[in-house]
Structure 1
Amino acid sequence: MEESPLHLAKRETQWSLRSRPVWAGLLAAGMILGVAGPFGTDEVLRLLPRLLYWCALTVLFYFVGSFSGTFLHAVLERWRMPHWPSVALAGAGAGTAIFALLVGINIALFSVSWEDRSGLVILGANVIGISMIVTAAIVYIKEAMPTASASQEPKPVEILNRLPFDKRGALYALSVSDHYVEVITANGAELVLMRLGDAIKEVGDTEGLQVHRSHWVAQAAIAAARRDGAKAILTLKDGREIPASRTYVPALKEAGVLPTK
């Protein structure tokens, strides 16, 4: 079944809800804002209510922004919009949702009338601008992390986190299907909305080879290999056959998958 933008946004939200580092970061940010008391909250709220206010807002805004930003980015990617413009628009959309929520909360809690339209416009511009910057920074960090070289610990197979639990298992292959990547494991296959290049960055320490512009295979998953003229056919442990184009045959020979003669 194809993964819709709504499905992807729900999955990312569920992952964040289960992530201890995410919760630790949000609560730490809320505590810092609560102590600092920005936007005049130090004048209208005492310390404990102010801490609760900012912790609640930080958590609420993160999940609202994450859900709406992920959804919009997936929609824009499906429309084939270039990567970074789609990130910027997704960040602006998330910021708009957060701004509307912020205005509603302040009206409900503090009876703010917002008669000063210019102040409202400035606040909205600040919230949307910050959201765009934060969204771009998060996407950049996520994309850069798989290529970071500092840690000696085994890199996790991050692509598996995008799959339902019943489909997670030893990674066999990645194959392009329209705008999706079919992630093939020992327990089945699932379509994920992303580029093949980005998916390959999430295979962690799994040893594998790109054998076609539309296919990547884990070496441990190859059960057999045979030549097909100038090309090759790889048979996986589940019986699935993956074509290898002429361009990648030398790499398969170098890896010992195909005979050198």
Structure 2
Amino acid sequence: MTENAIHASPVAMAHSPKEASFGIRHRRGFMIAAIVGFLLTMVGALETSQIGFLPRLAYWEILMLSGALIGLGVSEMVEKWGRLRSRQWAEMPLIATLIALPLTLIVVGTSSIFFNTRQPTFDAFATMFVITFTISLIMTALNYFIHWPGKVIPETVAPPAHVEAGNAAPPKLAARLPLQYQQLEIIALEAEDHYLRVHFDDGASTLILMRLSDAIAELPAAHGAQTHRSWWVAKRAVNQIAKGDGRATLTLSTGVSAPVSRSFYKRLNDQGWLG
């Protein structure tokens, strides 16, 4: 592998898919990274065919899996920060930049170990960073397009106020759910970090990547209310109420317990929720 090829090595990123649980979310990203690393090994990309198959495989897998691991941490950090959730055009370049900075150093170090290359000049390093950033941005955009929960959501027409809740059209939020849950009645939302657990009337639940405030905005206001900074509850699903010390616990029809915090207690009490 020539020095110029090393300086221009494009290292593809594999970010975590946005799926239900943490493990499932990121497993696919690492699998994609490993597969791409194997393919680059097979074709001897960027003149790496000058070394044996196993060292070449180790070289590409180190780079690809390092990129996937950095992408996992960066995307989790940026999503948890949440300031750019509604501005994907700004969030994607930020994620790509934060990935490309450490990954470029890994490319330099790994190439030095496997190919005994000298330290790159500033211009060569800058070129390598630009290439790494570009590929990181492309992969980030692809993951957003495939997995972003806010993409191309079919519009739903709000039912008239007099329509019975059981006969109402599914809320807009239902379109974001896996197909098997879209016809179920949503009885509660529970924030878990930057995920959202959606509870249904049949006792099932699922996780989606969405903020609680955004999800509440997609539910009919008359169906329920926020009871806690991490909870929204459908009023018709409340079976039992336990009150005490300016707080309350709502037991739902499925046995799920939802808290009512001090900051929401008075408003809910005034609205007749707490009897």
Normalising by the smaller structure, the TM-score range is 0.5 to 0.7
Name which one, 1 or 2, has greater alpha-carbon Rg: 2
SS of corresponding position for 2:220 = strand
Match of 2:237 in 1: 222
Superposed displacement of residue 210, structure 1: 1.0
Match of 1:173 in 2: 188
Alignment coverage as a number of residue pairs: 194
Match of 2:97 in 1: 92
Paired residue type of 1:212: A
Residues of 2 paired with 1:48 and 1:118: CA distance?
31
Residues of 2 paired with 1:81 and 1:144: CA distance?
12
Superposed displacement of residue 123, structure 1: 0.9
Whichever structure has more helix as a proportion of its residues is 1
Residue deviations 1:175-203 (CA, integer Å, cap 9, x gap): 689x967646599x9xx984348758xxx
Match of 1:255 in 2: none
Residue deviations 1:30-51 (CA, integer Å, cap 9, x gap): 11100122222123x1223212
Retained in 1: the 8 A contact 2:189–2:212? yes
Superposed displacement of residue 117, structure 1: 2.6
Residues of 1 paired with 2:150 and 2:209: CA distance?
19
Paired residue type of 2:57: L
SS of corresponding position for 2:77 = helix
Say whether residues 1:56 and 2:81 are aligned partners: no
Superposed displacement of residue 140, structure 1: 1.8
Greater RCO, 1 or 2 (C-alpha within 8 Å, sep 6+):
2
Residue deviations 1:111-141 (CA, integer Å, cap 9, x gap): 3223433222111100011101211210221
Say whether residues 1:141 and 2:146 are aligned partners: yes
Say whether residues 1:26 and 2:41 are aligned partners: no
Say whether residues 1:112 and 2:117 are aligned partners: yes
Please give the TM-score of this superposition, normalised by the length of structure 2.
Answer: 0.52
Say whether residues 1:103 and 2:108 are aligned partners: yes
Change in CA separation of 1:61 and 1:223 when aligned onto 2, cut-off 3 Å: same
Q: Percent identity of the aligned residues? A: 20
| Unaligned stretches of 5+ residues in structure 2 | 1-19, 155-177, 240-249, 265-275
